[in-house]
């Protein structure tokens, strides 16, 4: 008899055969308490050495006073070693020196206003149902479309179209998971916005490759 699907605010949603919770897998909405990070329901991260502070592990240069945000959609899957390098990690590189003098004799917003610091950078935005493979690095301002698969160790910058598979350093699109017209149909269905009971009732259509069947399930 399958157990009830865990609520999105469950800290450790994976239950092992012995009945214990897997400490290395967390629903992000349950463990992130950071004013500059948003994580959608059921998105999870996994680690072989789970940290006490998941925000610091995933986005170590995103500070409470940072001007940018990290936005993660629903049902994303973030593997061990993934790191989001957000815009507050940047140095100026449009002048003579890139050295951040300000951070050594100022702090917080005061430092950010100094001339040796870069202008505020863009948000980093991850769509829905994105799988980010082990050890991948997501660079400042990346915008990753829904349904994307990021290969292990990839270094991702810029905008990645929905349902692409990317890999390498710098990451490039290896192929699309679906034809362009099917991508548009899948984005219109937006199954990640359905109630969880409806999602589970149509697990076969969501996990399968028949776009028309998923459309029929969407009604």
Domain holding 122: CATH number?
2.160.10.10
Pairing of strands 149-150, 131-132: parallel
> Are 63 and 163 in the same domain?
yes
Tokens standing for residue 49: 């050495």
Query: Does 7 fall in a domain?
Result: no
Q: Which domain holds residue 130?
A: 25-177
| pLDDT for the residue numbered 201 | 96
Do 58 and 102 sit in the same domain of this protein?
yes
Kindly state whether residue 163 falls inside one of the protein's structural domains. yes
The pair of three-digit structure tokens given for residue 60, joined into one six-digit string: 């170590």
- Catalytic center residues: 91
pLDDT of residue 57: 97
Centroid of chain to Cα 160: 13
pLDDT at 1: 55
Contact 23/50 with Cβ under 8 angstroms? yes
pTM attached to this predicted model = 0.94
Q: Give yes or no for a cis peptide into 199 (omega within 30° of 0).
A: no
Tell whether 10 is covered by a domain. no
Q: Distance (Å, rounded) from C-alpha 15 to C-alpha 3?
A: 10
pLDDT digits (tens, 9 = 90+) for 110-131: 888 899 999 999 999 999 999 9
Collect all residues with Cβ–Cβ distance below 8 Å to 50 and sequence separation of at least 6: 23, 24, 26
Low-confidence ranges of the chain (pLDDT < 70): 1-2
With respect to residue 95, please indicate whether it lies within any of the assigned structural domains: yes
Task: Let me know whether 40 and 109 are in one domain.
Answer: yes
pLDDT (tens digit per residue) in 157-181? 999 999 999 999 999 999 999 999 9
Is 122 found in the same domain as 78? yes
Is 82 found in the same domain as 167? yes
Q: 150 with 174: CB under 8 angstroms?
A: no
Specify burial of residue 161 (Cβ count, 10 A radius: 0-12, 13-18, 19+): middle
Which pLDDT score is estimated for 103? Answer: 87
């Amino acid at each position: 008899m399958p157990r009830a699907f865990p609520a999105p605010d469950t800290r450790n949603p994976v239950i092992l055969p012995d009945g214990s919770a897997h400490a290395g897998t967390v629903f992000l909405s349950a463990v992130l308490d950071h004013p500059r990070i948003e994580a959608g329901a059921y998105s999870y991260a996994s680690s072989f050495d789970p940290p006490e502070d998941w925000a610091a592990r995933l986005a170590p240069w995103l500070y409470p006073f940072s001007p940018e945000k990290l936005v993660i959609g629903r049902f994303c899957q973030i593997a061990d070693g993934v790191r989001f390098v957000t815009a507050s990690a940047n140095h100026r590189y449009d002048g003579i020196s890139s050295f951040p003098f300000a951070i050594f004799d100022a702090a917080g917003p005061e430092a950010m206003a100094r001339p040796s610091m870069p202008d505020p950078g863009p948000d980093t935005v991850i769509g829905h149902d994105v799988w980010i493979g082990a050890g991948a690095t997501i660079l400042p301002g990346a915008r990753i479309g829904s349904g994307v698969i990021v290969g292990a160790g990839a270094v991702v910058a810029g905008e990645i179209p929905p349902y692409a598979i990317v890999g390498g350093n710098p990451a490039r699109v290896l192929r699309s998971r679906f034809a362009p017209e099917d991508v548009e149909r899948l984005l219109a269905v937006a199954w990640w916005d359905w109630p969880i009971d409806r999602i589970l009732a149509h697990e076969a259509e969501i996990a399968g490759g028949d776009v028309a069947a998923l459309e029929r399930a969407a009604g």
